[in-house]
C-alpha cells in the first residue's frame, strides 16, 4: 500500500490541493487531459491511507462501466481496494436488489431488454403503424422524460421536438401504453431503477438510515453529465451531509439531448459557499498547437477552462520532454470520397513515420460518414476497427436494404440504375429530402442515402445486378481485423479516449454543426463536441472538409473553422493555415 507522502508525490500542485481536501464539499474543474482520473484515485487512496476514509464507506460514481472498471483498477493498485466504484445505475440496482425484498417483497422485477420491442407491442395495441427507427426515437423520449423528472402531462407541455411522423397525442399514448405493458409484464427499465431507488430512500426511513450508514464519502466523475434524476438520487444518498467531491468540465457537456445538465457543476460553489474549488488546467496529453486550438474554440464560453500545455508526463508521473510538433493541419477536398482517400494517404505517411496504427484515429459526427472511410482505408490496405458503433454494413437498415436490393435485382432489368435503387430504398423510407430533426429516423435516412451515394459513384452503364454484386463484395470484405489497426469512431463515442494522431473529418456546415442544430444551445453543444474531438489528439491533429456531399449537394466550411482562425482554399486537398 502506498504511503500518504508517496500518493501526494505523484501529483502536480493543483492535483495535490484536491487530494488533501478530504472533508466537506470539493469541486474539481478538470479540463481535458489534465489528469483528473489520477487526481480522483490519488485523493481517495490518500483519504484511506491517512485513516480519514474507510474504503467500504466511499462511493465513487461515474457514467460508464469502462470508466468504473478503470477507477477500481487504479484504486486497487494504490492500496484502496474495497471502494465502491460504479455507475449510477449499477449502484442503484445493487441497492434495489437488497432493499426490494424487505420493502416490497419478492424479487426485483426483471429489466426491460428492449424499449423498442415493448413500444412495438404498444403500437400494435394502439393500432399505429410505426417503423423501428421511430420507435427508437420514442424510446429516447421516454428516457429524456424520466431523467428530467417530468410527468407525462409535463412532457406534453414541454414543446419537445417530436419523432418524425407522429403527433404529440400519439407520442404520449405510446408512452402511456408502454408503461401499462411494463406493469402488466412486471418489468422495469433502466430509468425506473433510479426512480425506484430514489423513491425507497425518500419514503422508507429504515432504507435511508442503512444507505447513509453504508456510504459516507462521495466522489462523482463527469459531473457535467448528471441529469436531474441522477442529481436527485445523489442528494438522497448524501442525506444532507456535505462530504462530496464532484469532478467535471463544462466544455465536455455533449449529452444535453439525453438530459445532462452542466448547471449542477457550474452552480456547485453557489450551493456550497464554503466549497474547495480546484481548477486543473495543466494539459499533459496534447501538444501546444492542439491545446491552443482547444482554447481558441472555447474562449468565452460558460465554464470554459484555459488549458496550458504542460511538460509531458508518463504514467508514473515522470516529467519528459515533448517531441517537435507540427501545427494543426486543415485540408479541403472536392467530395467525401476524395476526403476519405486523402485521410488514408496521410495515415500511410504517419504509419511509415513509425506511428503505431493503434495510435491513429479518424473521428466523425455521424455513423454514415464511416462508409467512405472504410472504402478508402480498404483500398490503401490499412487495417481499421470501428469503436462504439456498428459498422456501416452491419446496421439493420443497411442489411435490410441489401437484401431487398438483391432480391429486386434478380427480377428487374433495363431500368436506369438510379431509378431501380431509389425505388427500393423509397419503399424503406428513403426520400430525396432529409427528415427534420435528429434521432434514429434521421440516422436511418443517412444510411439509406449513403447507398444512393454509392449509385452516384458507380461507373456509367453499371447494371442493377452488377451494383448489388459490388455491394455484396463490399459487405463480405469488411471483417473485423485482428491486427494493429486504426480506430474509426464517432465524436460521441471517442470521449474519454486519446490517440497520438487524430483526423477530424467532415468539418462542414450540416455535419458539424449538424444540420438539425437550429438553435444557439444546439449549435453550442456541437462546438463542445468538436472540442472533445480536438482534445483526443496527443501530438498530431488534422482537420478536413469536402465541398460536396455524397449526392452532389454543395457544402460550406464549418463556422468553427473560421473561429479557429483556419483559412480554407478553393484548391482541393490544399492545406489551410
Residue list for the binding site: 30-37
In angstroms, rounded to a whole number, what is the distance separating the alpha carbons of residues 260 and 281? 23
Can you read off the three cell numbers belonging to residue 477?
470484405
Local structure of residue 435 (DSSP, 8 states): P
Residue 424 near residue 401 (C-beta atoms within 8 A): yes
Neighbour tally for 82: CB within 10 Å = 13
In angstroms, rounded to a whole number, what is the distance separating the alpha carbons of residues 67 and 314? 20
Can you read off the three cell numbers belonging to residue 164?
418524425
Structure-derived torsion over alpha carbons of residues 96, 102, 105, 108, reported in degrees to the nearest 10: 10
Structure-derived torsion over alpha carbons of residues 384, 293, 310, 503, reported in degrees to the nearest 10: 10
Can you read off the three cell numbers belonging to residue 191?
430509468
Residue 180 near residue 119 (C-beta atoms within 8 A): no
CA 286, distance to chain mean position in Å, is 20
Residues 6+ apart with CB under 8 A from 219: 40, 43, 44, 58, 59, 60, 61, 244, 245, 246, 247
Q: Where are the beta strands (DSSP E) in 268-413?
A: 276-280, 282-283, 308-309, 312-313, 319-320, 329-333, 360-364, 384-387
Show binding-site residues for ATP.
30-37
For 428, counting Cβ atoms within 10 Å of its Cβ (0-12 exposed, 13-18 middle, 19+ buried), the class is middle
Task: Report the run of H or E that residue 122 belongs to, with start and end.
Answer: helix 115-126
Amino acid at each position: 500500500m502506498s504511503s500518504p507522502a508517496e500518493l501526494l508525490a505523484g501529483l502536480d500542485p493543483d492535483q495535490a490541493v484536491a487530494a488533501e481536501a478530504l472533508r466537506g464539499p470539493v469541486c474539481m474543474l478538470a479540463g481535458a487531459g489534465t489528469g483528473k482520473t489520477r487526481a480522483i484515485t490519488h485523493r481517495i487512496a490518500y483519504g484511506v491511507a491517512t485513516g480519514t476514509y474507510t474504503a467500504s464507506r466511499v462511493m465513487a460514481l461515474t457514467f460508464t462501466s469502462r470508466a468504473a472498471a478503470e477507477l477500481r483498477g487504479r484504486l486497487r493498485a494504490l492500496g484502496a481496494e474495497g471502494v465502491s466504484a460504479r455507475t449510477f445505475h449499477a449502484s442503484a440496482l445493487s441497492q434495489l436488489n437488497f432493499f426490494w425484498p424487505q420493502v416490497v417483497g419478492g424479487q426485483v422485477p426483471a429489466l426491460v431488454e428492449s424499449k423498442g420491442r415493448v413500444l412495438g407491442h404498444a403500437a400494435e395495441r394502439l393500432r399505429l403503424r410505426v417503423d423501428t427507427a421511430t420507435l427508437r426515437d420514442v424510446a429516447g423520449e421516454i428516457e429524456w422524460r424520466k431523467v428530467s423528472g417530468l410527468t407525462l402531462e409535463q412532457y406534453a407541455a414541454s414543446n419537445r421536438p417530436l419523432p418524425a411522423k407522429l403527433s404529440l397525442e400519439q407520442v404520449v399514448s405510446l408512452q402511456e401504453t408502454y408503461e401499462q405493458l411494463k406493469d402488466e409484464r412486471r418489468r422495469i427499465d433502466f430509468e425506473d431503477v433510479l426512480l425506484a431507488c430514489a423513491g425507497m430512500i425518500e419514503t422508507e426511513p429504515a432504507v435511508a438510515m442503512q444507505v447513509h450508514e453504508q456510504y459516507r464519502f462521495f466522489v462523482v466523475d463527469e459531473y457535467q453529465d448528471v441529469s436531474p434524476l441522477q442529481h436527485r438520487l445523489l442528494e438522497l444518498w448524501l442525506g444532507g451531509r456535505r462530504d462530496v467531491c464532484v469532478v467535471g468540465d463544462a466544455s465536455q457537456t455533449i449529452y444535453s439531448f439525453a438530459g445532462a445538465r452542466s448547471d449542477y457543476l457550474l452552480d456547485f460553489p453557489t450551493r456550497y459557499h464554503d466549497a474547495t474549488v480546484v481548477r486543473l488546467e495543466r494539459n499533459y496529453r496534447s501538444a501546444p498547437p492542439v491545446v491552443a486550438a482547444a482554447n481558441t474554440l472555447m474562449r468565452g464560453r460558460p465554464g470554459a477552462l484555459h488549458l496550458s500545455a504542460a511538460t509531458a508526463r508518463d504514467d508514473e508521473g515522470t516529467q519528459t520532454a515533448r517531441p517537435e510538433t507540427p501545427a494543426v493541419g486543415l485540408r479541403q477536398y472536392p467530395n467525401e470520397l476524395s476526403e476519405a482517400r486523402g485521410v488514408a494517404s496521410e495515415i500511410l505517411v504517419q504509419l511509415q513515420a513509425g506511428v503505431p496504427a493503434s495510435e491513429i484515429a479518424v473521428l466523425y459526427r455521424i455513423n454514415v460518414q464511416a462508409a467512405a472511410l472504410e472504402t478508402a482505408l480498404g483500398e490503401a490496405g490499412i487495417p481499421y476497427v470501428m469503436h462504439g458503433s456498428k459498422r456501416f454494413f452491419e446496421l439493420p437498415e443497411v442489411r435490410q436494404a441489401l437484401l431487398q436490393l438483391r432480391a429486386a435485382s434478380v427480377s428487374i432489368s433495363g431500368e436506369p440504375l438510379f431509378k431501380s435503387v431509389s425505388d427500393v430504398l423509397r419503399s424503406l423510407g428513403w426520400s430525396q429530402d432529409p427528415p427534420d430533426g435528429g434521432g434514429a429516423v434521421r440516422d436511418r435516412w443517412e444510411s439509406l442515402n449513403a447507398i444512393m451515394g454509392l449509385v452516384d459513384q458507380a461507373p456509367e452503364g453499371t447494371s442493377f445486378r452488377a451494383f448489388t454484386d459490388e455491394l455484396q463484395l463490399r459487405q463480405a470484405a469488411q471483417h473485423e481485423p485482428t491486427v494493429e489497426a486504426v480506430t474509426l469512431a464517432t465524436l460521441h463515442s471517442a470521449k474519454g479516449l486519446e490517440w497520438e494522431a487524430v483526423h477530424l473529418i467532415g468539418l462542414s456546415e450540416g455535419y458539424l454543426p449538424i444540420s438539425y442544430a437550429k438553435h444557439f444551445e444546439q449549435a453550442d453543444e456541437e462546438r463542445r463536441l468538436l472540442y472533445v474531438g480536438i482534445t483526443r489528439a496527443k501530438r498530431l491533429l488534422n482537420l478536413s472538409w469536402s465541398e460536396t456531399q455524397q449526392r452532389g449537394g454543395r457544402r460550406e466550411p464549418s463556422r468553427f473553422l473560421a473561429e479557429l482562425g483556419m483559412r480554407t482554399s478553393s484548391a482541393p486537398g490544399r492545406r489551410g493555415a
